[in-house]
Structure 1
Amino acid sequence: MTIKPPLTDLEIKVGEEGFYQGFNKGATIGSKAIIILLVLWAAVFSDQAGALLLKIRGWSFEAFGPWYIYAMAFIVFLCLALALFPATGKVRLGGPDVEPEFSSFSWFSMMFGAGIGIGMLVFSTAEPIYHFASNPDTIVGAVAPKSAETMRSVYKWAFFHWGLTAWGCYGLVGLALAFFSYNRGLPLTIRSGLAPLFGRRLEGVLGDLADIAAVIATILGIAVTIGYGISMFASGMHSMVGASWMVNAEGSPSLAAMMISLVLVMGASILSAASGVDRGIKWLSNINMVLSFGLLLFFLIFGAPGVALKSLFLGIWDYIINFPVQALTYWPTSDVEPAATLYKWQSVWWTVFYWAWWIAFAPFVGLFFARISRGRTIREYIMGTMVLPSLMCFIWFTFVGGTAINLELSGVAGGSILATGQEGQLYAALKLMVGSGVFKMLTGLVAILLLTYLVTSADSGVLILNTILSGGDAGKKAVAHIIFWGGALTAVIGVLLVAGGLDAIKSAMLVGALPFSAIIVLMGIALVKALVRDALREKNREVDGVGNPAGEIK
């Protein structure tokens, strides 16, 4: 049997002069048109836009919930298999003699900061506290809510959401792009991850559509992340200065406070993006990690370390033994309890929303992972992008969230943390732990950490958008293109906040994530096909002992 040679070149047409010099016009103009129409629609018809987005959100949960559950399970099991299988695990991205570009610390710092840093700060307290009151085990009556017995179920579900599934989604996209770029010589852009399936058809409209889907998903995925981040940032600023205009009647950050925070973050992001990945983003990522470990050390010393360590080890054990069932379980919509609440918990409130969020964030994070992972083996890459970040999240959730739960269980909090909005629950826990002077200092530290994470996510996203739209060229782009996409991201977040707050942003993200979810699955299939065919070529070369060109192997 003759095995055709792999595709090692993909011609993506880019402009040769003018404003779009170096950019693929089809994907760039198509992406801009969709984003501009979204901004205009949400700005001019803000009330109608917010209502329609919420309707679409409900429909997508019910119609595509099973798809998200099983697609993400496929992604995780595939990544683990590629790492564990000896023949694929030892494959080095870029070739056997390539050395990594970044140190392990900087590599991990950039991955963690771009991948999940903001969400970790928001949800390391908010999610355990929520699951302490309600999770599938309390819904079916297996354990009592808000009790010591609830702790194990809290972390079984929190770890499920922030563990291998989230990072596997990012990791698979990055692995496919890195392999096809560094080992095949294809452009470092989304369409290259589909090359074994569609070949040269990706040089035309089909490839443009893949890149457009990635751009839209990226913008809306980052919008959700920044939306959560600026909400928590504004809440922290209010805790420090106490200005009444910074909160609304419900005690949540006001629209004005969030808009000012948005402009501050995006202005800094555009400046950082203009300096490139080797300067601004690298240094900000290292600062992120130092500040993160500083805050974590505070909870290690002054929090509830005994509760945290017990929750960490039991949580990891429960996560491992329950993961296959959790990953493959879907609760359909129902009018009967407890099935009705289980459906809402999984599809509306937590799991399906998270899976869509990770998918929407995956083009940006995955391409960024690929950009910084040249020289790593597949096994090393999977460990660095899936296992270690998962463990880092688990530590954060047990030490920070565990402290908050312990404050509630002991009666110190008196329900105050449970009653606070998710953007302020970390601050509420800190306020109970220290005096007012130290509290303001710690709040300032969290605010700085949030700001650096926000800037890192936004500026990395702007650079990645330009990389996708320029046919994989990761070189520094003209400032005008950086400003446009930074401004477009700011406008999308701003108009959606006006249209319906964070709910409108999350609803728009769900729409943007759906097309790219199919692309990720196809990327996984394409990567397996490429690795299997490489193994067959290598086997045939060993058999005939001649080293025939790939196209002549029988």
Structure 2
Amino acid sequence: MAIKPPLSDLPIKTADSGFYSGFSVNVAVISKIIISVLAVWCIIWPIKAGAVLGDWNAVILDVFASWYIWVVAAFVITCLILALWPAAGRMKLGADHEVPEFTNFSWFSMMFGAGIGVGMLTWAVAEPVAHFQNNPQVIQGAATGGAEDNILNAYQWSYLHWGFSAWSTYAIAGLALAFFSYRRGLPLTIRSSLTPLFGKALSGPLGNLIDIVAVVATILGVAQTLGFGVEQFVAGLNRIGISGLVMEDGSATTVGIVVALLFIMGASTLSALSGVGKGIKWLSNINMVLSIVLLSFFIIFGATWFGVNAFFVGIWEYLKALPWMSFNVFVSDGTEGSESFLLAQWQGWWPVFYWAWWIAFAPFVGLFLARISRGRTIREFVLGAMIVPALMCFVWFAWAGGTAIDLELNGGADGVIFGAANGDKIFAMTEFMLSPIAEALAWGMAVLIVVLLMTFLVTSADSAVLIVNTINAAGDEGPKARPHILFWGAALALVVGGLLISGGTGAIQTAMVIGALPFSIVMALMCISLLKAVFNDTRRDAAGVTAVTVDTPIGTAPAE
């Protein structure tokens, strides 16, 4: 059978005029209805919503925990195959003559900011501390929680959740979008990544369903990030002297949640209205400068040598345990309090939650990575997207989290850091480090963290709004009508607020795990689709059949 050129035309019906001009009406309207119903349900019936979400979460953890564990392992394997496969690795995400638009430094910086952002400010301190106190080795009696023999175990699990597995999830989504948009000329939207499997059928209801699933997953994934960020933002405002926003247990009051969301979502909506070239660009630059200042503070004035050990030895322990951690599923015997029950519960709280979070965040980060990676080879993209940002995460965990652990073990913190709420730990740590010397400097550091947190939150929210509108507009990256930007900004705020009120960050976590499940199936199909497309392109190249069907002008020199 003769080898045919690849599919390079996927028409998606969009409105020619009216309120939804330029948008796929089915995708945009149905996505809005689903998110609106969720927000209204959580705000009007918060107790009922919290209970139902909790029941659903229990079922998912019981039935689909192994699916989440194994599907993310499959993402890592797929990335490694594509990077190590010689013919695949040399293929460009674009025409053969194209060169990357951005230098390596700019490319790496943007990848890290898009994929992690605000998460570092909460979890770079909170997660190593949490695993230092409890993890599977502690549950099994192989290590002692809160003791020195458990330090490397804490980093082994922290690095798992923010390392190669996380970034392979983003890499799969970004690679699939870039491959089919920049080599085939297909629309820059989720459905295009499955054309080798479903072909022209993706122009209709099946493609609409895939894009709707991606939009819902994106909103819930970003809601998870904003939920943690709002709690931490309120804790920061409390630390700098704005009272009445937190309860005795350190969690945000309803007033605190509303104030934070009005401020953050108002700023993010204005930024989204200004476009990528203005608001988002400037906020990203501020993020980078403040992040370097804060991280340098921990490296220089924190537990410097502790961090060195946590970074290098921790990475070695992580790499040794990676195959087992990636595939092992803890199965409960059903007896509450038993070792197997506690292990399965811990896995649901940590790896399953994180894998769902990264999957839900993947449409957003993947589409962004695709947009900044045109002209790269597949090998460059995979290795760059998996390794460099992961190493940056490890640096944050080693010196920020390491400083917290060292202060508690050897620095006389005496529970000041460990006893703080997750979002408040970084504030508690910097205050403990500085207040005996200079209270004004401690207050100034808290202000710096609050400003950095705000810019991260605003950047995440406004970027998410623009990405959702791009998917709703069948991949069109051009300017969007203001009412749609305003709707998604308000909807995101209401979803975050409603879920926080109905059950705190746990309710957001549950909704996100549920919402990520359908998109995890889409991503599994992306892996198959990518491997099939690359294999067929190698056959086309061998037969002299055109494999790259996109028609673009010759690339320009890399830009800063």
Flag whether TM exceeds 0.5 (same fold).
yes
What is the SS of the residue equivalent to 2:418?
helix
CA distance 1:548–1:400, change in 2 (3 Å) = closer
How do residues 348-497 of structure 1 correspond to structure 2 at under 5 angstroms?
349-435=349-435, 436-497=439-500
Q: Is the 8 A contact 2:136 2:346 kept in 1?
A: yes
Residue 504 of structure 2: which of 501, 505, 520 is its match?
A: 501
- Displacement of 1:383 in angstroms is 2.6
Matched with 2:343 is 342
How do residues 51-66 of structure 1 correspond to structure 2 at under 5 angstroms?
51-66=51-66
- Displacement of 1:550 in angstroms is 10
1:241-270 per-position Cα deviation (integer Å, ceiling 9, x unaligned): 151x11113122222112211111111111
Q: Is the 8 A contact 1:128 1:401 kept in 2?
A: yes
Q: Is the 8 A contact 2:217 2:360 kept in 1?
A: yes
CA distance 1:549–1:286, change in 2 (3 Å) = closer
CA distance in 1, matches of 2:380, 2:154: 30
Q: Is the 8 A contact 1:227 1:493 kept in 2?
A: yes
- Displacement of 1:40 in angstroms is 2.1
Matched with 1:256 is 255
CA distance in 2, matches of 1:411, 1:446: 22
CA distance 1:275–1:100, change in 2 (3 Å) = farther
Farther-moved stretch of structure 1 (80-89 vs 265-274): 80-89
Matched with 1:29 is 29
Q: Is the 8 A contact 1:235 1:424 kept in 2?
A: yes
CA distance in 2, matches of 1:225, 1:287: 19
Q: Is the 8 A contact 1:113 1:456 kept in 2?
A: no
CA distance in 2, matches of 1:216, 1:337: 37
**Counterpart of 2:287 in structure 1: which amino acid?**
N
User: How many pairs does the alignment contain?
Assistant: 544
Q: Is the 8 A contact 1:110 1:282 kept in 2?
A: no
CA distance in 2, matches of 1:548, 1:401: 51
1:260-314 per-position Cα deviation (integer Å, ceiling 9, x unaligned): 1111111111111122223322222222111111111001110011000011001
Q: Is the 8 A contact 1:4 1:550 kept in 2?
A: no
TM score, norm. by length of structure 1: 0.96
How do residues 36-47 of structure 1 correspond to structure 2 at under 5 angstroms?
36-47=36-47
Q: Is the 8 A contact 1:114 1:453 kept in 2?
A: no
1:155-201 per-position Cα deviation (integer Å, ceiling 9, x unaligned): 11000000011111111101000000000010000000111000011
**Counterpart of 2:508 in structure 1: which amino acid?**
I
**Counterpart of 1:346 in structure 2: which amino acid?**
Q
Q: Is the 8 A contact 2:184 2:548 kept in 1?
A: no
**Counterpart of 1:465 in structure 2: which amino acid?**
V
**Counterpart of 2:440 in structure 1: which amino acid?**
G
- Displacement of 1:484 in angstroms is 1.0
1:73-107 per-position Cα deviation (integer Å, ceiling 9, x unaligned): 00011112211222111211112221222333333
- Structure 1 alignment gaps of length 5 or more: 542-546
Q: Is the 8 A contact 2:24 2:474 kept in 1?
A: yes
Matched with 2:558 is none
Matched with 2:113 is 113
Farther-moved stretch of structure 1 (522-531 vs 501-510): 501-510
CA distance 1:298–1:411, change in 2 (3 Å) = closer
Matched with 2:157 is 157
**Counterpart of 2:406 in structure 1: which amino acid?**
N
**Counterpart of 1:331 in structure 2: which amino acid?**
F
Q: Is the 8 A contact 1:16 1:22 kept in 2?
A: yes
CA distance in 2, matches of 1:432, 1:37: 44
- Displacement of 1:375 in angstroms is 1.4
CA distance in 1, matches of 2:469, 2:546: 39
Q: Is the 8 A contact 1:109 1:286 kept in 2?
A: no
What is the SS of the residue equivalent to 2:417?
helix
CA distance 1:548–1:491, change in 2 (3 Å) = closer
Farther-moved stretch of structure 1 (136-145 vs 172-181): 136-145
Fraction of identical pairs, as percent: 50
- Displacement of 1:497 in angstroms is 1.7
Matched with 2:326 is 327
Matched with 1:544 is none
- Displacement of 1:57 in angstroms is 1.0
TM score, norm. by length of structure 2: 0.95
CA distance in 1, matches of 2:281, 2:374: 16
How do residues 143-154 of structure 1 correspond to structure 2 at under 5 angstroms?
143-154=143-154
CA distance in 2, matches of 1:75, 1:405: 32
CA distance in 2, matches of 1:424, 1:490: 22
Q: Is the 8 A contact 2:93 2:183 kept in 1?
A: yes
Please provide the CA RMSD for this pair.
1.5
CA distance in 2, matches of 1:361, 1:388: 19
- Displacement of 1:3 in angstroms is 2.2
CA distance in 2, matches of 1:403, 1:550: 50
Q: Is the 8 A contact 2:235 2:250 kept in 1?
A: no
Matched with 1:283 is 282
**Counterpart of 2:525 in structure 1: which amino acid?**
L
How do residues 539-550 of structure 1 correspond to structure 2 at under 5 angstroms?
539-541=542-544
CA distance in 1, matches of 2:38, 2:110: 31
CA distance in 2, matches of 1:282, 1:83: 31
Q: Is the 8 A contact 1:106 1:282 kept in 2?
A: no
Q: Is the 8 A contact 1:177 1:189 kept in 2?
A: yes
Farther-moved stretch of structure 1 (513-522 vs 248-257): 248-257
1:535 matched to 2:538? The reply is yes
CA distance in 2, matches of 1:415, 1:548: 65
- Displacement of 1:153 in angstroms is 0.5
CA distance 1:518–1:206, change in 2 (3 Å) = same
Q: Is the 8 A contact 1:273 1:462 kept in 2?
A: yes
CA distance in 1, matches of 2:229, 2:159: 21
What is the SS of the residue equivalent to 1:381?
helix
- Structure 2 alignment gaps of length 5 or more: 550-560
**Counterpart of 1:445 in structure 2: which amino acid?**
L
Matched with 1:8 is 8
- Displacement of 1:473 in angstroms is 0.3
Matched with 2:241 is 241
